[in-house]
Amino acid sequence: MRVTASGLVMAGLLTAVSACTAADPPQADAPASASAPGAAATAAERAAPASPGASPGTPALTVEQAQAALIGEGDLGVPWTATEGTATWHDELLKAATGEPDCQRLLEALYTDELLGAPAGPRAATALDDGDDAAQLRYQVDASRSADVDRTLAWLRALPRTCAQFTAQTTAAGTETVQVADAGLRDFGDARQGLRITVTAQPSAAADPTALTLDVAVVRIGDDAIVLTAGALGTLPDTTTEQALGIGVQRLAQVRERGRAQA
């Protein structure tokens, strides 16, 4: 099964999407097709100011540094390639509503790719497809305030308790069951939290169930943050998330070191 385009391109993946109410499924636009890490900045990226949240004595992350810290298809190897567009399961399973406010917030964050909300400074993002596993990975580097990131991390840590299992209503796939568990990440960066989310839907009694596996991770390194979301119909390759984070954290550290040397 191939990951297919949804008609909106993911170039830069920088579109901020409004949150939706719990009464209706999110109506946000799908993310646009991501460019390779070395691609030129979009107008939004070029206009973004340096991060005001950087710690005293630490130079603020620039747009160019955020872009240089992205991972690419060559980092993960075959079968990962540059994205062809939004995965078919994105709208079908993540455009959903539930009566549980905290769980609704999670669904909206997954659908809009806005786990951290608006960044304090520059942001760069990219996306990759694994057509063999109907998988898609979105990788983002943000200049953020450490206190803001830590609040998001605290919220994510609570979700395996507050939203361990809940039901949600979709437009395309009927009622779905969502399970949220701690992903048990290694000690990446200064602080981190990962979740393994399983979404199971059965549109009709005659249809086979559809299962989506999502790995979500946020890692803080100083005032910078890495946000990763990787999803697949069925089984997500076990090593994908930690491999991407391991490479990404090291790359961000190298970019930061080069910036200090040039200062």
Does any domain span residue 6? no
Residue 243 lies in a domain: yes
CATH code of the domain in which 135 resides: 3.40.1000
In a domain, 22, yes or no: no
Q: Quick check: pTM over 0.85?
A: no
- pLDDT for res 263: 60
Burial of residue 208 (number of CB atoms within 10 Å: 0-12, 13-18, 19+): exposed
Q: How far is it, in rounded angstroms, from Cα 8 to Cα 26?
A: 16
What is the tally of structural domains in the chain?
A: 1
pLDDT along the chain (263 residues), means of 10: 39 36 41 37 37 56 95 92 90 94 96 88 94 91 93 97 96 92 94 96 79 96 95 85 96 90 68
The helix (run of H) or strand (run of E) holding residue 90 is helix 88-94
**What's the CA gap between 187 and 165, in Å, rounded?**
26
Domain assignment present for 38: no
| Residue at 200 is within a domain | yes
Amino acid occupying residue 75: D
The range of the structural domain enclosing residue 151 comes to 43-262
Task: Assess if residue 130 is contained within a domain.
Answer: yes
Domain presence at residue 35: no
Residue 27 included in any domain = no
**For the chain, how many helices (H) and strands (E)?**
7, 9
